[in-house]
Amino acid sequence: MVDMDYPLQGPGLVALPNLPEISNIRRVPLPPELVEQFSHMQCNCMMGVFPEVGKAWLTIDSDIFMWNYEDG
């Protein structure tokens, strides 16, 4: 094991060079049909994007939803 295996843990944190900052390029609202699904959530949700194919995903409990975030 070397120091860079876990670079952001422990005292004396090691800075990682050349990591781009996360910035807000544009906002895309969730489709209204998905916002409505949050009222049925019991315990967990997760969300992410597949930028290579222009898709976003959302899980609410055991359900998964995918949509084209370019045009909703």
* DSSP E strands, 1-72: 45-50, 55-60, 63-68
On whether residue 47 sits in a domain, the answer given is yes
Greatest mean pLDDT among 7-16, 35-44, 49-58 lies in: 49-58
What's the pLDDT score for residue 56? 93
Judge whether 1 lies within some domain: no
3-state secondary structure of 34: helix
Q: Is residue 17 part of a domain?
A: no
Question: Which among 29, 23, 24 has a CA at the least distance from the CA of 47?
Answer: 29
3-state DSSP assignment of residue 5: helix
For residues 69 and 56, give the distance between their C-alpha atoms in angstroms, rounded to a whole number: 6
Domain of 52, in residue numbers: 28-72
User: Can you tell me the mean pLDDT for 2-12?
Assistant: 58
Tell me, yes or no, if the pTM score tops 0.75: no
